[in-house]
Amino acid sequence: MQQYQVIVIGTGPAGYVCAIRCAQLGMKVACVEKYITANGKPAVGGTCLNVGCIPSKALLDSSHHLQFLREHAKEHGLNVSNITVDIPAMQKRKDKVVQTLTSGVASLLKKNKITVFSGTASFISARQIHVKNPTVDGVTEKLQGKHIIIASGSKPIQIQGVQIDNQLVSDSTGALNFRTAPKRLGIIGAGVIGLEMGSVWNRLGSKVIILEAMQTFLNLADETIAKEGFKALSKQGLDVRLGRSVNAIGVSDGKVLVKYSGNESLAVDKLIVAVGRKANTEGLKLESINVKTDARGFIEVDSGWQTSVKNVYAIGDVIGGAMLAHKGSEEGMALAERLAGQAGQVNYHAVPWVIYTWPEIAWVGKTEKQCKDANVAYRTGVFPFMALGRARAMGDTQGLIKIIGDKNTDRILGVHIIGANASELISEAVIAIEAELSTEDLARTIHAHPSLAEGMHEAALAVAERAIHV
């Protein structure tokens, strides 16, 4: 039996980062990864690199270039005609991006002398696991570890009674691999995945209809940003229908028929089911060692990410909360440092959220509603992109930056952005909240001109009603 100080189950952003940090701190580490590519080869990187964050952003960027050429190039004096779209070539580029990054992670694991086992892990005891190789029948490994870390991630939630074939009815993975743009595309769920995939295929020529059960759009985002986002995406052609609960899904004559609330129905060429994700714990045999899970199947952990079983830990999507790659990575870093006797920690109040539509949507900290619900006295400052010289020069003037500050202490409570490059701009806000800065601190910080980041400066000034350029 092979023995290790740390065994990490899963090599997504939570798992591989944790493994590398453990190795950096002098521990003997092994990882177990069950993912197999479409061509039958093992690959590290988990959902994020293989069928999530990275491939979706590759398609979003490719389709955004097309949108620019068709709708905005002429404004810049660029006369482009006879534009053609080669979706298979676009998919090939996406696959190359994924392969490059997963190979890079494999190299990092090797560089740090981490042993990677391909296969499905299952617990024998709190310190032992079986690893069954998915490509070779009957081949198993038995591993023993002082600490075992579950970082097995999440998988798409399926609607009961709906068969996902990734032909007519797809989950988020299948939605990344269409070879042609369907004439009519239905999406169930107006969350991050639904909006990003809807944006991709809308740009590539599909008529996209999104059915959302919630009565509100992007209920996790600040209301000001959500309203602006709904308006922007609707203008682009996304037909987002709120308060629509799906009752039945059927397939007939090569079409997908969706019946939803109000006795309404929708016929589409393809349907994407994007109603959320759940913990990926299948096959781990958690019950055999009494690891506790909550009512939704997420693994319960304490403040140090230890499960109900001593020396068994869990991080990333598998424990729920903000199911974000960067959140999982930080948990992996912090846990590794705790296992080494250091004081690793994660500030969950400073975790940024990003939706990679265009304009992008990003936020960190509290929303205005959360402040109201908590009876926190606050002030807000808002600054529009249309007043930024850099945004004007780019031709991307849609959006705004909103800063929420504590009325009594002036500490920054939340920052909310919709606009070009919001995914990059939010980092300044994350640092500000992590460092417990005030809106005055941002207002007194010199920002380069012309830049989109000036909007952060002006929004901070606006909190005290002294913005210059509005």
| Span 395-412, pLDDT tens digits | 999 999 999 999 999 999
Query: Active-site residue 449, yes or no?
Result: yes
Predicted confidence band of residue 262 (pLDDT cuts 50, 70, 90): confident
Question: For the residues 59-88, what does the mean pLDDT come to?
Answer: 96
Q: What is the pLDDT of residue 416?
A: 98
Nearest partner of 158 among 192, 188, 178, judged by Cα = 188
How far is 406 from 379, CA to CA, in rounded Å? 6
Question: For the residues 62-71, what does the mean pLDDT come to?
Answer: 97
Predicted confidence band of residue 133 (pLDDT cuts 50, 70, 90): confident
| Span 93-131, pLDDT tens digits | 999 999 999 999 999 999 999 999 999 999 999 999 999
Q: What is the pLDDT of residue 136?
A: 65
| Span 309-362, pLDDT tens digits | 999 999 999 999 999 999 999 999 999 999 999 999 999 999 999 999 999 999
Q: What is the pLDDT of residue 183?
A: 98
Q: What is the pLDDT of residue 138?
A: 63
Q: Point out the least confidently predicted range of 138-152, 179-193, 420-434.
A: 138-152
Q: Across the chain, what does the average pLDDT equal? A: 97
Residue with tokens 């024998």: 124
Predicted confidence band of residue 442 (pLDDT cuts 50, 70, 90): very high
Q: What is the pLDDT of residue 409?
A: 98
| Span 13-44, pLDDT tens digits | 999 999 999 999 999 999 999 999 988 899 99
Catalytic residue among 130, 447, 449, 457: 449
| Span 273-295, pLDDT tens digits | 999 999 999 999 999 999 999 99
Predicted confidence band of residue 268 (pLDDT cuts 50, 70, 90): very high
How far is 456 from 213, CA to CA, in rounded Å? 34
Q: What is the pLDDT of residue 140?
A: 84
How far is 147 from 130, CA to CA, in rounded Å? 15
Give phi and psi for 218, each to the nearest 5.
Answer: 50, 65
Cα–Cα distances in angstroms (integers) from residue 79 to residues 68, 72, 205, 286, 347, in the given order: 12, 10, 21, 60, 49
